[in-house]
Homo-oligomer: A and B are copies of this chain.
Amino acid sequence: MVIEPPKSQYIQIADELRARIQGGTYPADAPLPSEQRPADELGVSRVTINKAITLLRASGDVKVRRGAGTYVRKLPKIPRDAKRRYAARALGTGAGEVEVRTLKLQSRTQYREIGRVNPPSAVARALGLSEGEETLVRRRVLFANDEPTQIADSYYPWSITEGCDALLQADAGRGGSYSRSAELGHGPVRFTEDVNVRVPDDAEQRLLDIEATLPVFDIWHVAYDAQNRPVEVCVHVMPGHLWTLHYDWDDETAEEETD
């Protein structure tokens, strides 16, 4: 039997405040009550409430709006089902907005750049490009109810996408960019994702409107065509507190074992 030491009081209070947020006592997008009120209700000092709120900031449950006070988070946790999101294009929807629409939130994509560029060296490596080979880049920020939910920068080998005008438009047409890749003879048949977590840099803090201490998921998504050639790298940077990543797979060794 593991005996855990008792939780510090401010951690218990943070748990209680979090439960009130999840239960709707403190509704989404509304200001948090002054420290005095929960201090009175819970019979603890304002200092303890303050320490608990610092924890809630670190976990993304509340957010300080400059000059306006502390607000409850606006968005629920968004489930991101890797397999299903990329399968969605078969239904005519780009992968980018699937989850947000499922939650009946208002989805919006803001393109920052679409064009022909020299890719960062790590992208060139992931795409297996030769020295000096260029890429088509599509850089965007996605929003749910006007809150930024992710930065997504997609790179395609220019040699594949050259001449495809749709990929140079913000709206890449029915099924999104992967459907265009398929028409070019390089439709993705396999995906890989490498997931890291880190603190956001200056630009990411600004684009995602988050504090320096809020960790982000950093996902490198690579799409491969039937010849096993990498045809797209998409770098996703997503506030960690907004997302749950979901993966599922069949066990390839299962048959051997049950024989």
Residues of A that sit less than 8 Å from B by CB = 1-2, 4-5, 7-8, 11, 55, 58-59, 82-83, 86-87, 89-90, 112-113, 115, 139, 179, 182, 187-199, 201-203, 212-213, 215, 217, 226, 240-241, 243-254, 256-258
Contact = CB atoms under 8 A, between A and B. Distances in A.
A92 B20 CA distance: 47
B247 A247 contact: yes
B247 A195 contact: yes
A105 B253 CA distance: 26
Contacts of A254: 187-189, 226
A243 to B, nearest CB: 8
6 contacts: A1-B113, A2-B113, A58-B213, A188-B251, A198-B241, A215-B215
B59 A198 contact: yes
Copies in the complex: 2
A76 B121 CA distance: 21
| Chain A interface, >50% SS class | mixed
A201 B5 CA distance: 12
Given A112-B2, A199-B58, A249 B83 contact: yes
A29 to B, nearest CB: 21
Contact of A199 (B59, B193, B250, B253): B59
